[in-house]
């Protein structure tokens, strides 16, 4: 996406899902620039941590499903 890489992208919903691990601890400036760029294209960014996905997958899934329903209404 431009010069940036996203973990997951749904073109139909203009939605990026990012799973942040320890590699993101040192890339906050990059992540912020990428997020602002994507938002300037009307692309919504949803972030989860590796820990949340590993430990609370059901909650992540429920949250993501809710965000998808919201995004469908926005478009």
Whole-angstrom distance, CA of residue 62 vs CA of residue 75: 20
Mean pLDDT of the chain: 91
Q: How many CB atoms lie within 10 A of CB 56?
A: 14
Give the pLDDT mean for 46-69. 97
Q: Give the pLDDT of residue 28.
A: 79
Higher pLDDT: 24 or 45? It is: 45
Q: Is 42 left (phi over 0), alpha (psi -120 to 50) or beta?
A: left
């Amino acid at each position: 996406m431009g010069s940036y890489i996203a973990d997951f992208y749904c073109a139909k919903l203009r939605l990026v899902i990012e799973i942040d691990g320890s590699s993101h601890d040192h890339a906050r400036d990059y992540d912020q620039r990428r997020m602002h760029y994507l938002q300037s294209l009307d692309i919504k960014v949803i972030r989860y941590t590796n820990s949340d996905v590993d430990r609370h997958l059901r909650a992540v899934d429920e949250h993501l499903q809710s965000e998808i329903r919201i995004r469908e209404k926005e478009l």
